[in-house]
């Protein structure tokens, strides 16, 4: 099975963590449909950790907690599928999950069969309590094999926190996406750190196996497990989402979809940003200014002869972000220039093939989709 676009959906962890239950999963699925998120492309509804009993059943299989998931996984899976959505679940490559539920180490084949039997379409596979003597590459590879032998198409989302130089070997295991960072929190420094940590790693992301900088905190508004009241507002969410799209990331929403504000819905369904994120070629952006600048600019080749140009201000002071075309190989004598359209405001810039300095308010960004024109 090959995946050719970074997956889009919702995951329970950021908001619900240990408080997950079948009601909030159903309500998340309902909200995905009612808000138009499904029609914008979000399709997976993923239950993260804390869905199972702490012991396996007498048959050695994982058992959903009957108090929090009384209807069972088949009923929940049917419900999610009846909404035109796909069903995701969670397990761990270690002996236990991060919260102490049974992990799938050495139980990969029986667990994959259980997940397939529940109609699972996506498996997030974590890395806690991993035996010191075991080899991560072998374990992720074994689960990929186990999923394949079920005969069901199941997206395999590896999640080892970016450890063990995972970017160098994960593609060989059969995983379709892999976490290349630690856990995100709802703070601007965490968002930036997640992105900046990929400077040397984003090149490994490509169709078939995508980098995953973690679930989105867009619209959490301080509520939930990873919520930090007051530390992110609409500007920080906008920059967070723009960065994830520019870096071609899986878009797994983590907020409470039942209470998503209209501004956040508008952001999450921005057609141009989603077009950049889901671009078929998934090319890494090129930093087109002084590398590591706190007001950086980026250029990204897209398919269909288009490209994206983005200006960020990571600082707390308004100022200009510079774009140096020569850093992307474009010269003023080339006879072509960039015609740019901003994805939030529709503002048009260009044609231009010379130094461009744009004013960007603190923590904000400007993102353009561009086309080449003769000059």
Active-site residue list: 126, 183
CB of 137 to ligand GLA, least distance (A): 19
CB-nearer residue toward ligand GLA: 49 or 279: 49
Put residue 282 in one of left, alpha, beta given phi > 0 → left and psi -120 to 50 → alpha.
left
For the stretch 108-135, what's the b/e string if a residue is b when 16 or more beta carbons lie within 10 angstroms of its beta carbon?
bbebbbbbbebbbbbbbbbbbbbeeeee
Residue nearest to ligand GLA (CB): 98
Retrieve residue 211's tokens.
């980098």
- Which structure tokens are listed for 58? 């007498």
Instruction: Give the ranges where the chain is alpha helix by DSSP (H).
Output: 13-16, 22-34, 37-40, 72-82, 108-117, 136-149, 166-173, 188-196, 234-246, 262-268, 271-277
Q: How far apart are the first and last CA of the chain?
A: 45
Question: Which parts of this chain interact with ligand GLA (CB under 6 A)?
Answer: 13, 48-49, 97-99, 126, 159, 161, 183
Enter the tokens of residue 228.
Answer: 């930090």
Smallest gap from residue 96 Cβ to ligand GLA (A): 10
Instruction: Look at strands 319-323 and 356-360 and give their pairing.
Output: antiparallel
Q: Which is nearer to ligand GLA, 21 or 315 (CB)?
A: 21
DSSP string, 203-228: GG-BTTBEEE-----TT-TT-STT--
Query: Can you say how many angstroms the Cα of residue 92 is from the centroid of all Cα atoms in its chain?
Result: 19
What are the counts of helices (DSSP H) followed by strands (DSSP E) for the chain? 11, 16
Least separation in angstroms between residue 65's CB and ligand GLA is 15
Specify the residue, 144 or 159, whose C-beta has the smaller distance to ligand GLA: 159
Most distant CA pair in the chain: distance in Å?
Answer: 74
* Residue with Cβ nearer ligand GLA (100 or 229): 100
Assign residue 348 a region: left if phi > 0, alpha if psi is -120 to 50, beta otherwise? beta
| In the complex, minimum distance from the CB of residue 124 to ligand GLA, in angstroms, rounded to a whole number | 6
Alpha carbons 31 and 8: distance in angstroms, whole number: 15
Q: How far is the CB of 100 from ligand GLA (least distance, A)?
A: 9
Rank residues 49 and 167 by Cβ distance to ligand GLA and give the closer one: 49
In which residue are the tokens 């500007």 written? 235
As a whole number of angstroms, the distance between CA 138 and CA 373 comes to: 50
Q: CB 230 → ligand GLA: shortest distance, Å?
A: 23
Q: Which is nearer to ligand GLA, 214 or 364 (CB)?
A: 214
To the nearest whole angstrom, how small is the minimum distance from the Cβ of residue 239 to ligand GLA? 22
Whose Cβ is closer to ligand GLA: residue 8's or residue 358's?
8
């Amino acid at each position: 099975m090959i995946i050719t676009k970074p997956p889009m959906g919702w995951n329970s962890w950021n908001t619900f963590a240990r408080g997950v239950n079948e009601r909030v999963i159903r309500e998340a699925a309902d909200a995905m449909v009612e808000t138009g998120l499904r029609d914008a492309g979000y399709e997976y509804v993923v239950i993260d950790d804390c869905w199972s009993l702490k012991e396996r059943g007498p048959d050695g299989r994982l058992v959903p907690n009957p108090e929090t998931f009384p209807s069972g996984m088949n009923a929940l899976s049917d419900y999610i599928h009846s909404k035109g959505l796909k069903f995701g679940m969670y397990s761990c490559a270690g002996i236990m999950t991060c919260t102490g539920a049974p992990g799938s180490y050495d139980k990969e084949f029986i667990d994959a069969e259980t997940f397939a039997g529940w109609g699972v379409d996506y498996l997030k596979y974590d890395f806690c309590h991993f035996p010191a003597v075991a080899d991560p590459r072998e374990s992720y590879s074994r689960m990929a094999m186990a999923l394949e032998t079920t005969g069901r198409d199941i997206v395999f989302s590896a999640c080892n926190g970016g450890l063990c130089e995972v970017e160098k070997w994960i593609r060989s295991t059969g995983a379709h996406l892999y976490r290349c960072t630690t856990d995100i929190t709802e703070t601007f420094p965490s968002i930036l750190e997640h992105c900046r940590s990929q400077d040397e790693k984003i090149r490994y992301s490509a169709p078939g196996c995508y980098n995953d900088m973690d679930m989105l905190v867009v619209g959490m508004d301080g509520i939930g497990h990873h919520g930090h009241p007051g530390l992110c507002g609409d500007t920080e969410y906008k920059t967070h989402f723009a960065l994830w799209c520019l870096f071609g990331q899986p878009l797994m929403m983590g907020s409470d979809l039942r209470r998503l504000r209209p501004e956040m819905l508008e952001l999450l369904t921005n057609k141009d940003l989603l077009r950049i994120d889901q671009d078929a070629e998934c090319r890494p952006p090129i930093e087109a200014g002084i590398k590591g600048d706190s007001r950086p600019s980026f250029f990204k080749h897209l398919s269909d002869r288009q490209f994206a140009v983005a200006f960020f201000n990571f600082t707390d002071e308004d100022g200009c972000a510079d774009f140096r075309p020569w850093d992307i190989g474009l010269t003023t004598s080339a006879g072509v220039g960039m015609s740019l359209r901003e994805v939030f405001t529709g503002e048009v810039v260009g044609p231009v093939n010379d130094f461009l300095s744009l004013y960007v308010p603190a923590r904000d960004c400007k993102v353009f989709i561009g086309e080449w024109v003769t000059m």
